[in-house]
Amino acid sequence: MNPRILNQDLANKIMPAAAAAELIRPGMTLGMSGFTGSGYPKAVPVALASLIEAAEQRGDKFALRILTGASTAPELDGVLAKAGGIEFRVPYQSDPELRSRINKGEVEYMDIHLGQVAQYTWFGFLGKIDMAVVEVSGILPDGRLIPSTSVGNNKTWLDLADKVILEVNADQPAGLDGMHDIYYGTALPPHRQPIQLTQPGDRIGEPYLKVDPAKVVAVVESHGHDRLGHFAAPDECSLRIAGHLVEFLHHEISMGRLGPHLLPLQSGVGNIANAVLTGLRDGGFEHLTAFTEVIQDGMLDLISTDTICTASATALSLSPDGVAEFARNIDHYRSRIVLRPQEISNHVELVRRLGCIAINGMVEADLYGNVNSTHIAGSSIINGIGGSGDFARNGFLSCFVTPSTTKNGAISCLVPMVSHVDHTEHDVTVVVTEQGLADLRGLSPKQRARVIIDKCAHPDYRPMLHDYFDRACHSSYGKHTPHLLGEALSWHERYLTTGSMKP
Amino acid sequence: MNPRILNQDLANKIMPAAAAAELIRPGMTLGMSGFTGSGYPKAVPVALASLIEAAEQRGDKFALRILTGASTAPELDGVLAKAGGIEFRVPYQSDPELRSRINKGEVEYMDIHLGQVAQYTWFGFLGKIDMAVVEVSGILPDGRLIPSTSVGNNKTWLDLADKVILEVNADQPAGLDGMHDIYYGTALPPHRQPIQLTQPGDRIGEPYLKVDPAKVVAVVESHGHDRLGHFAAPDECSLRIAGHLVEFLHHEISMGRLGPHLLPLQSGVGNIANAVLTGLRDGGFEHLTAFTEVIQDGMLDLISTDTICTASATALSLSPDGVAEFARNIDHYRSRIVLRPQEISNHVELVRRLGCIAINGMVEADLYGNVNSTHIAGSSIINGIGGSGDFARNGFLSCFVTPSTTKNGAISCLVPMVSHVDHTEHDVTVVVTEQGLADLRGLSPKQRARVIIDKCAHPDYRPMLHDYFDRACHSSYGKHTPHLLGEALSWHERYLTTGSMKP
């Protein structure tokens, strides 16, 4: 008997991935596990892609609606997109093949705040979930499920799906057992109650997922690690951004607006976020907390030294080195990390109550503090808004970070008007580039513009931004948020035409 | 003794408005009462304007930073703006004189979600409050204050200001006593606790405001009703919008997504909102609830017949007829209406928990469901975002309503790209015009575009929108959110140049 599958009823449903995939029919809506490349099913989607390809060869259409926690991996989004099997995708993606098809107009993609996906599904706004396909790290004798490296929307998929396929992955750390906190107190309005969580590490639920065994149509024994790359050392630009942010946080402490242990950190993914975390440690901070979505290597490192003493998230997205370190010191981490459903990790009620310090990357910001997190040239999506809105709107501080330029200086990340708005002028308090930090709190639009240009813009683009702003202040229809509509998006147009925003 | 001023200590501080105004010095930051034209101080600002004008005549600068609940009236924003006495204004305004000066670039205005103003002030993001100027309807023997027709941010101003001027308005209904619920349980993170409110009518606080009597530097006996106009009967366009929305709500009930009593309504101000309320009553709804910002005549009417049996708000904005009806049946209304601080009436924790049905007006929406609530041609502000974001982001439904055209058809309210974004594609679920209703739930950007054009656009503009969309789908850089950047804002440019969006 598989030591990870201890319930006999469910063990009786063990079958190969190919047989389980046969249970998935064209047109179905699937709720799948997976969040930032972790905890996604690794066997069934690959088998499913083969079925889809075979159907295509027969001339049959076989397309699915795919809902997940967040991004997955080539073994899920990649293979299904390549096979032409995704007709609708929610709520986040980062796979190159899938992204390419979305931007060719071949796949319909809906970009939702990650904290709202579960309730939208409960409300019925995303249709019926026909099948859940969820990776777990084990099944208890009583049939409860030990979650895997991410929780994501798995509770919702298991609760709402007509049928369930479980993948039990023998390669996920056994030590995950006990690290999760699955809150079963959610309800539909008007029956909702306050969520009684007041500290990032509070446990308000149960360590295991529940599933009606009668709904489980297949259990698949799977293998394989989450496909996450090695962790790069922060580059010079990221270190400078981190330096500005750390200096700002020290300043806020000196002004009495923050205590020495700050407030719970939310940190987006990627190099800059990791550099900021490293910067906090090197900046002498200790006994910090995190209330965030994803724990990456940078945060694990801080937890190992108790720079961060409690971290709440919905996913562990670790490099192979990070996985090894995690397994080596599992008891240390289990007492400091809580993995929750993303409905809770990103819940506006909790983000507001805890007063998170939100630090997220972006594509570009404009003079007035509007932020584009998702689109190139207003039309081509990169990944999605993720949880940035859940945290930015409701946190204590809403920081957005980016290098001041990209593409070797051909693109300025500070522009007259962003080509797509994900975070409005009402929701952005701090903008940081390697050039400096713009503190937008308490400023009118024109005051924000001056600070953003002077603190954040690259010197190559600063005169161009000043020129636009000055002329807009003179000639704009209204002078509250001065704009020259014929020019506002011209930098993006020029980039598309000439390959550079420079004239 | 003034029967409204029963505390001797405070009665000793009674002085004329002119004397109280003398206590306000140039450069001060004032936290003033007032929300949607109700409960604003009526005597001190007028006296203050005279002082400012006198200073101007002497060649002295006398400018203030003014924070309120929301919009006020000519007796506050109007006189102070005309005198040139406002250098910075937060968080909402609707006075023509002030708006004009903001759009000339003479006044710096910061537009904040109304539910966040109090916490931003507590965080120190808006600077120190030097003086609170707050209208109340009475002072109890123990010094507690009976709030007036709006609560707004008064608790915060009274708590945080260095000094306090109280206006006790003898013309505000005495029957307001007992109608308010002032929650004193807020705190700064990391000390915040869940707000234990689970139904719109729950009382979680106290009926009175508290103030440290030592901070009160003046008590002014004032008079005068809130300056609110008579209530216009809904026009044909508003009735058609209301009809679409009522039909939609019935459909949602039939689909099982809403119960017969719906969920708590949040309704913006104005004619369309009132028509929707009337439509709900005529549509056979009963035993509804409201968790909203403002109670206007339309809602009062529904409360009178128990179509709405409980209403939570932060302000009563009633016409003279409404005020008379309110006074006539005060006991009926007092048992059904709760007036709260706007921090609570608009709190994201509560809006999310209760699952509000948010219905707000807008300036324009674009093909992809982005909504502009505040700006004409991207640069000239009208009023402000108000509480629309507090409710739209977090409610069960997020409905935005507008006529399909304005200015006799010269402006289409559905455009290729909005000229300013207040509510992003992630936050808008329903768009309604007199032409029809677009249900955007569960749709990708291109799917949304087709529905918005076909359901909401005016027939005069529908072919133009189809043409833009079709060409964008063909030629856009990315095909996820198709746009032609050189044309996206051309409708607004054409309007500014020719007076019409039509070619």
| Closest C-alpha among B423, B382, B376, B294 to residue B109 | B382
Cβ-defined contact of A424 to B426 (cutoff 8 Å)? no
d(CA A43, CA A28): 18
Tell me the two tokens of residue A121. Answer: 């599904």
Cβ-defined contact of A481 to B108 (cutoff 8 Å)? no
Tens of pLDDT, residues B183-195: 999 999 999 999 9
> What would the mean pLDDT of B3-16 be, rounded to a whole number?
98
First-to-last C-alpha distance (Å) of chain A: 69
**A419 contact B CB<8A:** yes
Would you say residue A269 has pLDDT above 90?
no
Would you say residue A232 has pLDDT above 80?
no
- pLDDT score recorded for residue B451: 98
Tens of pLDDT, residues A439-455: 999 999 999 999 999 99
Cβ-defined contact of B473 to A105 (cutoff 8 Å)? yes
> What would the mean pLDDT of B109-131 be, rounded to a whole number?
98
- pLDDT score recorded for residue A51: 98
d(CA B61, CA A368): 28
Tell me the two tokens of residue B183. Answer: 């929650």
Q: What is the mean pLDDT of chain B?
A: 96
Cα distance from B86 to chain A (closest Cα, Å)? 13
Contacts of residues B80-86 at CB distance under 8 Å and 24 or more positions apart, as own/partner, are B80/B45, B80/B48, B80/B49, B80/B52, B81/B107, B82/B49, B83/B49, B83/B50, B83/B52, B83/B53, B83/B56, B84/B52, B84/B56, B85/B48, B85/B49, B85/B52
Exposure of B2 in the CB half-sphere (CA atoms within 13 A)? 24
Cβ-defined contact of A446 to B103 (cutoff 8 Å)? no
**A354 contact B CB<8A:** yes
Tens of pLDDT, residues B27-63: 999 999 999 999 999 999 999 999 999 999 999 999 9
pTM for this prediction: 0.98
Would you say residue A476 has pLDDT above 90?
yes
| Torsion on CA atoms B232, B236, B241, B242, rounded to nearest 10 | 60
Share of chain A above pLDDT 90, in %: 94
Q: In chain B, which among 72-101 make CB contacts under 8 A with chain A?
A: 88
Cα distance from B200 to chain A (closest Cα, Å)? 10
- pLDDT score recorded for residue B234: 87
**B290 contact A CB<8A:** no
Cα distance from B481 to chain A (closest Cα, Å)? 4
3-class DSSP assignment, residue B476? coil
Nearest to B263 among A189, A263, A472 (CB): A189
Cβ-defined contact of B348 to A393 (cutoff 8 Å)? yes
Q: What is the mean pLDDT of chain A?
A: 96
Q: Which of B481, B484, B498 to substitute to test the interface with A, most A CBs within 10 Å?
A: B481
Q: For residue A107, what is the nearest residue in chain B, using CA coordinates?
A: B480
**In chain A, what residues touch B108 (CB-CB under 8 Å)?**
443-444, 446-447
**In chain B, what residues touch A396 (CB-CB under 8 Å)?**
123, 189
Tens of pLDDT, residues B207-249: 999 999 999 999 999 999 998 777 778 899 999 999 999 999 9
Cβ-defined contact of A194 to B196 (cutoff 8 Å)? yes
- Residue A173 near residue A324, CB atoms below 8 Å: no
3-class DSSP assignment, residue B267? strand
Tell me the two tokens of residue A372. Answer: 């584009």
d(CA A403, CA A409): 10
> What would the mean pLDDT of B351-369 be, rounded to a whole number?
98
Tens of pLDDT, residues A388-431: 999 999 999 999 999 999 999 999 999 999 999 999 999 999 99
**A369 contact B CB<8A:** no
Nearest to A352 among B348, B354, B380 (CB): B348
> What would the mean pLDDT of A254-268 be, rounded to a whole number?
96
- Residue B144 near residue B178, CB atoms below 8 Å: no
First-to-last C-alpha distance (Å) of chain B: 68
Tens of pLDDT, residues A158-204: 999 999 999 999 999 999 999 999 999 999 999 999 999 999 999 99
Exposure of B494 in the CB half-sphere (CA atoms within 13 A)? 14
Cβ-defined contact of A480 to B380 (cutoff 8 Å)? yes
d(CA B436, CA B186): 42
Q: For residue B111, what is the nearest residue in chain A, using CA coordinates?
A: A426
Could you report the predicted ipTM of this complex, rounded to two decimals?
0.98
Tens of pLDDT, residues A8-41: 999 999 999 999 999 999 999 999 999 999 999 9
Nearest to B353 among A103, A192, A259 (CB): A192
Cα distance from A103 to chain B (closest Cα, Å)? 5
Cα distance from A306 to chain B (closest Cα, Å)? 19
Tens of pLDDT, residues A301-318: 999 999 999 999 999 999
Exposure of B216 in the CB half-sphere (CA atoms within 13 A)? 25
**A126 contact B CB<8A:** yes
Cβ-defined contact of B108 to A446 (cutoff 8 Å)? yes
Cβ-defined contact of B349 to A353 (cutoff 8 Å)? yes
Confidence of residue A267 (pLDDT cuts 50, 70, 90): very high
**In chain B, what residues touch A124 (CB-CB under 8 Å)?**
255-257
**In chain A, what residues touch B425 (CB-CB under 8 Å)?**
111
Cα distance from A203 to chain B (closest Cα, Å)? 15
Cβ-defined contact of A426 to B125 (cutoff 8 Å)? no
Task: Say whether B293 is catalytic.
Answer: yes
Cβ-defined contact of B380 to A477 (cutoff 8 Å)? yes
Spatial neighbors of A32 by CB under 8 A, at least 6 apart, are A40, A41, A45, A66, A67, A68, A72, A76, A132, A133, A134, A157
d(CA B169, CA B153): 18
Q: What phi, psi does B424 have (nearest 5°)? A: -80, 170
The active-site residue, picked from A293, A325, A425, A434, is A293
Q: In chain B, which among 428-457 make CB contacts under 8 A with chain A?
A: 429, 441-444, 446-447
Burial B346-377 (b: 16+ CB within 10 A, else e): bbbbbbbbbbbbbbbbbbbbbbbbbbbbbbbb
Cα distance from B433 to chain A (closest Cα, Å)? 21
d(CA B415, CA B419): 9
> What would the mean pLDDT of B391-417 be, rounded to a whole number?
97
- pLDDT score recorded for residue A382: 97
Would you say residue B138 has pLDDT above 90?
yes
Size of interface A-B (CB pairs under 8 A): 243
Confidence of residue B283 (pLDDT cuts 50, 70, 90): confident
> What would the mean pLDDT of A41-64 be, rounded to a whole number?
97
d(CA B82, CA A205): 58
**In chain B, what residues touch A189 (CB-CB under 8 Å)?**
263, 353-355, 396
- Residue B275 near residue B243, CB atoms below 8 Å: no
- pLDDT score recorded for residue A1: 84
Site of tokens 């670790």: A318
**A375 contact B CB<8A:** yes
